[in-house]
A and B are shown apart, each in its own frame.
Chain A
Amino acid sequence: MNIKTLGKISRWMNGTDLQEVTWKKGKNKISIKFGEGETPSYNLTASAKLIPVNSPGVGIFRFSARGQTFSVKEGMEVKKGQTLGIIEIGKVLKPVNSEDSGFVKIICVEDAKAVEYGQTLFFLEPK
């Protein structure tokens, strides 16, 4: 499964009225479902529940800023509150912190890409 595709699907869904999307390719299957409430819920293959980490503002996403680098890899373990990247909002740098402890399952963002408020940047799999 392609991460870019996933990001694209979830972003595209945000702009539509769709509540649920299922995507199949070979053995892989992914379904994204937006709940009735404000927070969307995501289901991947089996029953794994993933937690999204969303952008705290409108700006440019960076994996490194002011001499600090956040090398985030898929599968790596992160702690709650750990900084995974930075959003550059004009002159202000806003950290993107992990919502929970767990493993980085999917990285949906690339370095130096423009992001909007609430855009999903990472999916975590809780411990």
Chain B
Amino acid sequence: MRKFQKILIANRGEIAIRVIRTLKEMGISSVAVFSEADRSSLHVREANESVCIGPAPATESYLNMEAVIQAAKITGAQAVHPGYGFLSENPAFSDACRKNGIVFIGPNPASMKMLGYKSTARNLAVRSKIPVSPGTRGCISKHFKKEADKIGYPIMIKAAAGGGGKGIRVVRESARLEHEAKMAQAEAKAAFKNGDIYFEKYIERPRHVEVQFARDSRGNAVAFPERDCTLQRRHQKLLEESPSPAVNRETRKKLMDAAIRLAETSNYVGVGTVEFLLDKAGNFYFMEVNTRLQVEHPVSEFITATDLVKEQILIAAGGSISVKQSQISNFRGHAIEHRINAEDVSRDFLPSPGKIKEFVPPGGQWVRLDTHIYQGYDLPFYYDSMLAKLIIWGVDRKEAIARSKRALNEFFVKGIPTTIHLHKLLIDDENFVQGNVHTGYMEEFLKKNQNKL
């Protein structure tokens, strides 16, 4: 196993700071990269060295592979941590690092490609004996009824050329099938110039659960208790918790085993996450794999006393994972993460960057705040609007919720609109407290709380 002396963080914001913190604790020197808009960002101050890599637009700085690699070369960094977003899931970048003799902290380009593309990832899930949502094999143009009966109602008719929720029809009974399928074909042809359709099982009011896993080059693999990321708005996660209030011990074991099988089948080296849809009966279906560290990773860290960034670095250095599965399976308590954004909820969540005039962070026992903001900081409008992650631990879910409420009330930001208020309403919501939510719940919640936002 090699020892890294210096690591470059190819990212900005809270995640860059989160990685730098672990590097400091491990005695590794850090190099920050920044765009001209981020000169006064906290990650630049916290790192041992920093390199300006380009102008404000991300395409010319944080997404500029050559500039990031040159920054690593001129500073003598032996490895690059990509964080999430930007270049973190780009196989070409991982490849370019390797060609320049720099270790990319993440899976190799082949794994990244195989798991990053939906169809190859789905095939791999099938090979790993992980349930995928039932559906037709490819596109169909006849025998609609026979195919739909095989899957079982309700079904979804999807346009092959569609995406992002477009071109989807839900059919609940066979009587409407022929008509809906013909309509879907015609619509798809008009909208995408391609009338190909396929069927998939429609999972009603599902939850989004995901399993963090890690595997080293020596073949050791571990899986973490599931994270529940059901509360989303337009596919953007708002609040995550672990474990899920909807998963029992038996299902948890099945989910974790599935993640380990997937990691082993794909010979994955690094940390990753496999996402599932969970139906009301507790059946889960494979959705996709994320081959990077995720925004919500701290909830897993909190209940298992693990540092996932440290594990990433150990794995990238050719070492072994430092935690045992038995340790992780004996997790303790409950963790919740609130993603606080600089958004104006009353104006349809309009991103509202600007100057932070006053900033009072929450604190106290079992409260973790991962943020890059400080009093006087001017949030640039070039990047995403997340300004902090508030992560709470409690001995059980009830205690975690009470502590969340307390911490959210302490949290004060003046100068720009934030989503703190929304989280206060959410943590108090009867359905959330009861664990009675689904992926479409935020729309219902926002409608219900219209006059309180």
Contact partner of B36 (CB less than 8 A), chosen from A38, A57, A60, is A38
Contact partner of A116 (CB less than 8 A), chosen from B52, B66, B69, B100, is B52
A-B contact pairs, 23 of them (CB 8 A): A14-B39, A17-B40, A38-B36, A57-B66, A57-B67, A57-B70, A58-B51, A58-B53, A58-B54, A58-B70, A60-B74, A89-B66, A90-B69, A90-B100, A114-B74, A114-B75, A116-B51, A116-B74, A117-B36, A117-B51, A117-B67, A118-B36, A118-B52
Q: Does A119 have its Cβ within 8 Å of any Cβ on chain B?
A: yes
Given A38-B36, A92-B66; A58-B71 close (CB under 8 Å): yes
How many residue-residue contacts, CB under 8 A, span A and B? Answer: 50
**B56 to A, closest residue via Cβ:** A38
Give B61-78 interface residues, CB cut-off 8 Å to A. 61, 66-67, 69-71, 74-75
Contact B39 A59 (CB under 8 A): no
Residues from chain B with a CB closer than 8 A to the CB of A14 are 39, 52
Q: Does B11 have its Cβ within 8 Å of any Cβ on chain A?
A: no
Number of residues from A at the complex interface, CB < 8 A: 16
Q: Does B336 have its Cβ within 8 Å of any Cβ on chain A?
A: no
Residues from chain B with a CB closer than 8 A to the CB of A15 are 39, 44-45, 50
How many Å lie between the Cα of A89 and that of B68 in the bound state? 11
Give B104-120 interface residues, CB cut-off 8 Å to A. none
> In the complex, given contacts A89-B67, A116-B51, A117-B52, what are 7 additional A-B residue pairs having Cβ atoms less than 8 angstroms apart?
A15-B45, A57-B66, A58-B70, A89-B66, A116-B53, A117-B51, A117-B53
Residues from chain B with a CB closer than 8 A to the CB of A90 are 66, 69-70, 100
B188-225 CB mask vs A (1 if < 8 Å, else 0) is: 00000000000000000000000000000000000000
**Which 5 residue pairs spanning A and B have beta carbons closest together?**
A114-B74, A58-B70, A116-B52, A117-B52, A116-B51
How many Å lie between the Cα of A114 and that of B54 in the bound state? 15
Closest Cβ–Cβ distance, residue B86 to chain A (whole Å): 16
Closest Cβ–Cβ distance, residue A86 to chain B (whole Å): 14
Closest Cβ–Cβ distance, residue B6 to chain A (whole Å): 14
Closest Cβ–Cβ distance, residue B182 to chain A (whole Å): 55
Contact B74 A119 (CB under 8 A): no
Residues from chain B with a CB closer than 8 A to the CB of A116 are 51-53, 71, 74
Residues from chain B with a CB closer than 8 A to the CB of A92 are 66
Closest Cβ–Cβ distance, residue B20 to chain A (whole Å): 15
Residues from chain B with a CB closer than 8 A to the CB of A17 are 40
Residues from chain B with a CB closer than 8 A to the CB of A58 are 51-54, 67, 70-71, 74
How many Å lie between the Cα of A6 and that of B61 in the bound state? 27
A107-123 CB mask vs B (1 if < 8 Å, else 0) is: 00000001011110000
Residues from chain A with a CB closer than 8 A to the CB of B61 are 117
Number of residues from B at the complex interface, CB < 8 A: 20
Contact partner of A59 (CB less than 8 A), chosen from B36, B40, B70, is B70
Binding site for A on B (CB under 8 A): 36, 39-40, 44-45, 50-55, 61, 66-67, 69-71, 74-75, 100
Contact B39 A89 (CB under 8 A): no
Residues from chain A with a CB closer than 8 A to the CB of B44 are 15
Contact B54 A117 (CB under 8 A): yes
How many Å lie between the Cα of A58 and that of B50 in the bound state? 12
How many Å lie between the Cα of A45 and that of B235 in the bound state? 58
Residues from chain A with a CB closer than 8 A to the CB of B39 are 14-15
Residues from chain A with a CB closer than 8 A to the CB of B51 are 58, 116-117
How many Å lie between the Cα of A61 and that of B39 in the bound state? 22
Residues from chain B with a CB closer than 8 A to the CB of A60 are 74
Residues from chain B with a CB closer than 8 A to the CB of A119 are 52
Residues from chain B with a CB closer than 8 A to the CB of A57 are 54, 66-67, 70
How many Å lie between the Cα of A38 and that of B66 in the bound state? 24
Closest Cβ–Cβ distance, residue B31 to chain A (whole Å): 11
**A115 to B, closest residue via Cβ:** B74
Give A1-51 interface residues, CB cut-off 8 Å to B. 14-15, 17, 38
How many Å lie between the Cα of A82 and that of B71 in the bound state? 27
Closest Cβ–Cβ distance, residue A39 to chain B (whole Å): 10
Residues from chain A with a CB closer than 8 A to the CB of B55 are 117-118
Question: Which of B40, B44, B54 has the largest number of chain A CB atoms within 10 A?
Answer: B54
A84-127 CB mask vs B (1 if < 8 Å, else 0) is: 00000110100000000000000000000010111100000000
Question: Which of A14, A90, A116, A118 has the largest number of chain B CB atoms within 10 A?
Answer: A116
**B36 to A, closest residue via Cβ:** A118
How many Å lie between the Cα of A92 and that of B66 in the bound state? 10
Closest Cβ–Cβ distance, residue B383 to chain A (whole Å): 17
**A87 to B, closest residue via Cβ:** B70
Contact A59 B74 (CB under 8 A): yes
How many Å lie between the Cα of A17 and that of B41 in the bound state? 11
How many Å lie between the Cα of A17 and that of B55 in the bound state? 19
How many Å lie between the Cα of A116 and that of B64 in the bound state? 13
How many Å lie between the Cα of A73 and that of B71 in the bound state? 28
Question: Which of B36, B40, B74 has the largest number of chain A CB atoms within 10 A?
Answer: B74
How many Å lie between the Cα of A17 and that of B67 in the bound state? 25
How many Å lie between the Cα of A55 and that of B160 in the bound state? 47
Residues from chain A with a CB closer than 8 A to the CB of B69 are 90
Question: Which of B40, B50, B67 has the largest number of chain A CB atoms within 10 A?
Answer: B67
